Amino acid sequence: MNNNLVVAVIGMGYVGMPIAIEFAEKVEVIGFDINKEKIENYKKGIDVTNEVGNEIISKSTVNFTADKNDIKKGDFIIVAVPTPINQDKTPDLEPLKNVSKMVGENIKKGSTIIFESTVYPGVTEDVCIPILEKSSNMVCGQDFYVGYSPERINPGDKVHKLSNIIKVVSGINEEVTSNIADLYELIIDAGVHKVSNIKTAEATKVIENSQRDINIAFMNEVSKVFNRMNINTFEVVEAMNTKWNALKFTPGLVGGHCIGVDPYYFLYEAEKLGYESQIISSGRRINDSMVQFVTENLVKQLILADKKVKGSKVVIFGITFKENTPDFRNSKIIELIKLIEDYGIEVVIVDPVVNEEEIKVQENIKITDYKSVNDADGIIFAVPHKTFENYEKKSILNMFRNNSENNVIIDLKAQYKSLYINTPNLLYWNL
């Protein structure tokens, strides 16, 4: 590691961009993305991810570029591109295959390519390396080197940041692993954890998120049962968490590009090997069923409030896959909107965090100012963005069509229970 080192980061999204920013404090950094509009925003000092902020972006020395020829400058090339799933829930490796081909065509001899994209064990060595070798006309382990280090960034989390999350690292041999560890130690204050091989590192990421998925599924199943028992799940959780070894998981909609996706990568490879997962697949089924569960309870509450379901108006607060991030990829709220609309209910979306233009173009969803709504029959607090805490109760209640009649509030995370639980003419429900 020296001052002449050049690190190229491929993919300037929620994962790649913060990595590029951190490395730029230590070495020369190329920040590449095929999205020219995104690159131009970064050059103007606009953080489209809201992960590090405009001020840091504008002061950074990262060379943001959409020119793939710039990748050739990289001594280390870090790949951080999305790994989504297909409609049939199987892994979609096309983005990873495409970037492997592009990198292979634009690497210099002696470079080390580090994949951070989440995959099932074996993808780096069985899929990516052959593509790199073919497109570069070079041999891995002789002309260039490969490693894997799973991304562990938690989008929107201002406490658990890149620098204070231990980095798992691996390479095609011990020397490459050591070099990759030295590289990340430049920016990771928490240190690195070396594992013996690339497959182990790949497995680490998919199992981390599969474990979380299973635990949330348990709480979602509990929530369904407690709903029939007329027991408030979050009150049970609050009491349960007084014990030192409680895991503190809560029920909710599981979306996004990690927890809602990664288990399918594990299931895919397990089934290829002839093993049918029981627990992980059950967890996925339960979590995927929660959108229907929420929709059914919204309809039930509207009926109990003497509302005519068809023709009602419901306002949903939050459309991103989690709080305090503009990322709406694989957001379950989008699925929730479609199910609610199937009942003939008009849906209005309030979300000051999401990028209005992007979600309009990609999902044809319009974002509305909550102050312009005065004819709602129900409100769903779906994603508890911190900014919603500044909305006054009076302003929220003024969104209803008639406060002298019964109205409905669905509070998925029970964040606003103390405000609305005992409000007259208001039916309150949470998971």
Query: For strand 76-79 and strand 6-10, is the pairing parallel, antiparallel, or unpaired?
Result: parallel
DSSP 389-406: GGS-HHHHHTTBS-TTS-
| Cβ contact 68:32 at 8 Å | yes
SS3 category, 52: coil
Separation between Cα atoms, residue 323 and residue 39, nearest integer Å: 25
- Provide the 10 A C-beta neighbour count for residue 107: 22
Comparing CA positions, the residue from 136, 141, 127, 118 lying closest to residue 71 is 136
Is residue 18 within 8 A of residue 51, CB to CB? The reply is yes
Burial of 202 (0-12, 13-18, 19+ CB in 10 A): buried
Query: Which residues, listed in sequence order, are joined to residue 85 by a DSSP beta bridge?
Result: 91
Please state, in angstroms and rounded to a whole number, the distance separating the CA atoms of residues 221 and 206. 22
Residue 316, classed as helix, strand or coil, is strand
Active site residue 140: no
The angle that helices 290-304 and 279-288 make with each other, rounded to 10 degrees, is 30
Task: Give the DSSP letter string of 237-303.
Answer: HHHHTTSTT----------TTTTTTHHHHHHHHHHHTT---SHHHHHHHHHHTHHHHHHHHHHHHHH
CA-to-CA distance for 275 and 342, rounded, in angstroms?
37
Strand partners, 112: 76, 145
Q: Which of 12, 169, 258, 353 is catalytic?
A: 258
- CA separation for the pair 135, 177 (Å, rounded): 24
DSSP 8-state class, residue 329: T
The catalytic residue positions are 258
